[in-house]
Amino acid sequence: MSSHIRRIAICTGGGDAPGLNAVIRSVVISASRRGWECYGIREGFNGILFHERYPEGGVFRLTPEKVRGIGHLGGTILGTTNKGNPLQFPVKMPDGTVREVDRSDEILEFFAKQELDALVSVGGDGSLTIANALHQKGLRVVGVPKTIDNDLDKTFTTFGFDTAVDFASACLDRLHSTAESHQRVMVVEVMGRYAGWIALHAGIAGGAHAVLIPEIPFDLDKVVAKILRRDSLGRMYSLIVVAEGAGPAGGNRAVQAPAEIGHAERLGGIGERTAKALQERTDKDTRLVVLGHLLRGGSPTSFDRVAAMRFGTAAVRALSEGHSGVMVALAFPNVNYVPLADVAGRMKGVPLDSDILQTGRDMGICFGD
Ligand code: F6P
């Protein structure tokens, strides 16, 4: 593939994560230094496909001037969506029903018409699966791994994860004192989808006494025993971190809204269930805190800013070296490129034999098993 590039586009898709703006800024600055023009697509691919919302076209020029001062800001100046998958775009049919239609060819046509030579797609599993499909259809694409959940394979970490963990840990720090003062059980539900990375890291950093993650179906008896044992030792309070995707052995995970056309299932509610059951079974005053979308907001940590800039500049380098169909990834100590095909559709959960999990166990954290 010729490495000659003049104009590139960048899009951010899926749930937002702290560090998106730092990626955008680094792509624009490093691409401009090569003499390339950059364009931002609004709201995932909706800027191209959602004509009703963007009658004038949802793609605009990004210059170094336009991205000045955004590196420390949360969110994304491009906007994002987890509803506009071009491979399964929800389209209203004449009979009023909604059907998923593959509109990916329209993306390629748009790139050809606008003489855009390549795409930097910043996203999680969904966006990178789309990026891989577009690459297979002939578009020049490089992916950048984003998600607070850290559930993408083939990269040590995604950007956004560190900020989410940092915030959740700070919340746990605060909950210790109020829980101890009132001799309460505090249950803290955190996001993470089907992976327990946020719960595990925040639980260890924040000194939780039990951490329940999707990778380890839990037995609530074990958590009750942990709380009562602490009480018997005079430690009259306990902090329990529950990942939204965790579930009891032999039971179901808690779903707030089932999957529907154009949208994956929405998790949530396991914290409430767990808090209620713990209150009943320990007879201790129990309170619930759901951190939810607070984990996605705010300014990225310095680790996430640096990761975002390493990824953004590496994406531009990858394109200038002639790569396509790859994701930039962190493989300490360096950033490398991995095939999108090895990432798309794969989830990285917490390995049961990982030292991070063992760290938690050796610190006396109960995992409900
Ligand atoms: O993938 C990021 C994430 O925040 C998950 O942790 C969570 O399950 C999901 O997105 C929530 O999505 P929404 O913003 O659609 O509620």
> Residue 181: its pLDDT value, please?
98
The token pair at 238 is 């306990």
Q: Quick check: CB of 135 below 6 Å from ligand 1?
A: no
Distance of CA 362 to the CA centre of its chain: 28
Whether the Cβ atoms of residue 329 and residue 338 lie closer than 8 Å to each other: yes
* CA 353 to each of CA 19, 307, 358, 366: distance values in angstroms, whole numbers, following the listed order: 30, 26, 7, 16
Nearest CA to ligand 1 atom 16: 266
Please report the atom of ligand 1 found closest to the CA of residue 151: 1
Q: Which residues are catalytic?
A: 149
Domains in the chain with CATH codes: 7-159+300-342 (3.40.50.450), 164-297 (3.40.50.460)
DSSP run (H or E) holding 280: helix 270-282
Q: Quick check: CB of 147 below 6 Å from ligand 1?
A: yes
- Residue 19 has phi, psi (to 5 degrees) of 120, -10
Whether the Cβ atoms of residue 174 and residue 358 lie closer than 8 Å to each other: no
Q: Could you tell me the mean pLDDT of each successive run of 10 residues in the chain, 369 residues long?
A: 83 97 98 98 96 92 98 98 91 91 96 97 96 98 98 98 98 98 98 98 98 98 98 98 98 93 91 98 98 98 98 98 98 96 96 98 98
Q: Quick check: CB of 146 below 6 Å from ligand 1?
A: no
> Residue 262: its pLDDT value, please?
79
Whether the Cβ atoms of residue 19 and residue 159 lie closer than 8 Å to each other: yes
Whether the Cβ atoms of residue 85 and residue 124 lie closer than 8 Å to each other: no
Three-state DSSP class for residue 319: helix
- Residue 126 has phi, psi (to 5 degrees) of -60, -50
Q: Quick check: CB of 82 below 6 Å from ligand 1?
A: yes
Residue 199 one-letter amino acid: A
Whether the Cβ atoms of residue 156 and residue 144 lie closer than 8 Å to each other: no
> Residue 68: its pLDDT value, please?
98
Q: Quick check: CB of 148 below 6 Å from ligand 1?
A: yes
Nearest CA to ligand 1 atom 12: 15
> Residue 305: its pLDDT value, please?
98
Give distance in angstroms: CA of 291 to centre of ligand 1: 12
> Residue 3: its pLDDT value, please?
57
Give distance in angstroms: CA of 196 to centre of ligand 1: 14
Closest CA to 268 of 250, 248, 286, 242: 242
Count of helix runs (H) and strand runs (E) in the chain:
10, 15
> Residue 1: its pLDDT value, please?
47
Give distance in angstroms: CA of 180 to centre of ligand 1: 31
Q: Quick check: CB of 149 below 6 Å from ligand 1?
A: yes
Nearest CA to ligand 1 atom 10: 15
Whether the Cβ atoms of residue 149 and residue 267 lie closer than 8 Å to each other: no
* CA 308 to each of CA 18, 267, 313: distance values in angstroms, whole numbers, following the listed order: 9, 27, 9
